[in-house]
Amino acid sequence: MAAKKSKSDAQLRVTLVKSTNGRLKAHRACVSGLGLRRINHSVTVADTPENRGMINRVSYLLQVEEA
């Protein structure tokens, strides 16, 4: 029987799919705050309200999936 993941164990895989060139400074800060450096770069982040807020702000630049 597989154990269910608790909310604290939840992870999100975030990939930058569009460039940050010409974007608002706050949006570029959110992208770098998530740990993304270049187009097609992927990182795994914890599913926390802080990370969700950054993802929601720049969702038009990202692809998000559950890890």
- In the prediction, which pLDDT does 65 show? 97
User: Residue 14, class by beta-carbon neighbours within 10 Å (0-12 exposed, 13-18 middle, 19+ buried)?
Assistant: buried
d(CA 20, CA 10): 27
DSSP string, 8-60: GG-EEEEEE-S--TT--HHHHHHHHHTT--STT-EEEEE--HHHHHHHHHTGG
pLDDT exceeds cutoff 70 at 1: no
The least confident of 8-12, 51-55, 60-64 is 8-12
Q: The domain 10-66 is classified under which CATH number: 3.30.1390.20, 3.10.290.10, 3.40.50.80, 3.30.1700.10?
A: 3.30.1390.20
pLDDT value of position 5: 59
Average pLDDT over the chain, rounded to an integer: 93
pLDDT in tens, 16-47: 999 999 999 999 999 999 999 999 999 999 99
Q: Which residues contact 60 (CB under 8 A, 6 or more apart)?
A: 18
